[in-house]
A and B are shown apart, each in its own frame.
Chain A
């Protein structure tokens, strides 16, 4: 279907969380694979962030054939490790909120997105943080993302509010703009750096 950038990946290991060298044929310390789940209100820009990250594009209406809800992208870090992100989109409509645990179960990373012009979306983000603290996999890496940072004149959530909340909850925080591509790659690079590495055996 030409949308997913995921290729046959015969050599990869187990399904959940951070996949590392727990079997001899699987990814090793140099090649990590991680399930990343996206959470946040509809409209905050989750799809655009992923599109920007995976394809370097912003406009969700642009005529690209890109997979809608599951995408994967590999990045190389400076220490020559690679991280393959398998990005799981979740339906943001309220009626599906109860289904979220099915998606974040076994995720190694949760990216929780809000829109800096919408205090409600910030409240919703906090709801997700609490829920993940209670029910997410232990050791899950969480990132709080304030998106649409380009809409400065419409800002309703102060940077400091995001910083403070993230700090209190031991999460990584960043403001991004999927529109200008600001901080999009940084977001994923910072997450990659924070992933637990398999201890060399």
Chain B
């Protein structure tokens, strides 16, 4: 079983591939990759072809003079290198390439954003001895790294590492806290909660990619078990409703509703702002606005509720409709907010994790990965 990210089969694979003796292998790899440019992506079909290719290459490498007398571990390194090379080259075709997958990813991520605003460990009956902020953060961090890699193996390793952190936490709890070892009964709820806290990028596409394109002979044992658990966590989140949790139905609905309102604000802000052309001069008062007025209204409030600074004398009958709809909007939001706050008042909330920064980091890492893999280009 692979244990760390530090194992680099890739360099030795590229080294061997630069050896003139491997020209035949290089040719078949390249022609295999090129062969994909002739037809549209088709995940099931692509997966079958790629898995078959891995198998035939395994035989070719075992019989190859360059690997004569090699240990199983060395052969394995070569096969891992091959997987990474091929899947990096075919990444845009095989990863999140259909509109459906993109939509799934967005839906899951949106739902997680909503859940993050109110979900607590108690809703999944996670015992307090297992609520270890440091371990959970570590586990989340592993999951969030998943898009820093392009090969199925490395993506899977992020999941394995995340699950190991959780397993260690369970073991520690059972040793030091006299918590009865609960097995999957403890493991799965913690993984679900960690997944929601992490909101890992493109969760659906990443899982699908690993399931389809990780070398099948390595998708076994513990690795397969951990992957299945994350697939299972995803499925739980997708279907999650009030009945999935220890929560009152009304509280669940109110919390989701409040979360939707909060999450929708930025978008509404823009449309509201655009529609309010008549009052543009008020909402956008220009540089002459006294500082103390700006300080009193926050940006969102100002844009969302453009009448905030209006004088009664400026209003016309034409404004009544807008005023009324804004009034209703405010009352609805206020009511939801109140009910949510009432439910949350005694408990710690999960703060939504910022997602943006990770993406930049990933792009950088991916860029580097890509360069690595093009060493072989002529």
Interface residues of A, Cβ cutoff 8 Å to B: 1, 3-4, 6-15, 19, 23, 26, 42, 46-47, 50-51, 60-61, 63, 65-70, 72, 86, 88-93, 95-96, 98-99, 102-103
Contact = CB atoms under 8 A, between A and B. Distances in A.
A15 B188 contact: no
The 4 closest A-B CB pairs, nearest first, are A89-B184, A91-B188, A69-B184, A15-B220
Given A8-B1, A14-B216, A15-B224, A47 B188 contact: no
Main secondary structure of the interface of B (DSSP, over half): helix
Interface in B147-186: 164, 167-168, 170-171, 174-175, 178, 180-186
B225 A23 contact: no
Nearest to B233: A99
A63 B187 contact: no
Contacts of B9: none
Given A10-B72, A10-B76, A4 B222 contact: yes
Contacts of A13: 217
Given A6-B221, A96-B236, A90 B216 contact: no
A91 B186 CA distance: 8
B232 interface: yes
Contacts of B168: 1
Contacts of A61: 174, 178, 180-181
Contacts of A51: 181
A9 B221 contact: yes
Nearest to A86: B221
Contacts, number: 117
A42 B182 CA distance: 9
Looking at B175, B186, B225, the one whose CB has the most chain A CB atoms below 10 A away is B225
A11 B76 CA distance: 10
Contact of A12 (B178, B181, B184, B220): B220
Contact of A91 (B167, B189, B216, B219): B189
Given A68-B187, A96-B236, A47 B182 contact: yes
Given A9-B1, A60-B174, 6 more contacts: A6-B221, A15-B220, A42-B185, A89-B184, A95-B243, A96-B232
Contacts of B229: 69
Interface residues of B, number: 43
B51 to A, nearest CB: 10
B1 A68 contact: no
Contacts of B282: none
B210 to A, nearest CB: 12
A65 B171 contact: yes
A67 B167 contact: yes
A95 B244 contact: yes
B167 A1 contact: yes
B188 A96 contact: yes
Contact of B222 (A63, A70, A93): A70
B97 to A, nearest CB: 24
Contacts of B182: 47, 68
B263 interface: no
A190 to B, nearest CB: 23
A173 B313 CA distance: 86
A103 B183 contact: no
Contacts of B373: none
B55 interface: yes
A42 B217 CA distance: 32
Given A8-B1, A47-B181, A99 B216 contact: no
A68 B171 contact: yes
A7 B189 CA distance: 27
Looking at B55, B167, B181, B245, the one whose CB has the most chain A CB atoms below 10 A away is B181
A170 to B, nearest CB: 27
B239 interface: yes
Contacts of B225: 69-70, 86, 88
A152 B86 CA distance: 60
Contacts of A6: 1, 221-222
Given A68-B170, A88-B225, A14 B184 contact: no
Contact of A99 (B1, B55, B236): B236
B47 interface: no
A42 B252 CA distance: 26
Nearest to B245: A95
Contact of A102 (B1, B226, B231, B245): B231
A69 B229 CA distance: 10
Interface in B257-287: none
B320 interface: no
Contacts of A93: 125, 185, 189
A12 B1 contact: no
Contacts of B243: 95
B55 A68 contact: no
A1 B235 CA distance: 27
B73 interface: yes
Interface string B323-336: 00000000000000
A91 B220 contact: no
A99 B217 CA distance: 24
Nearest to A90: B184
B185 A91 contact: yes
A50 to B, nearest CB: 8
Contacts of B175: 63, 65
Given A9-B221, A89-B183, A99 B171 contact: no
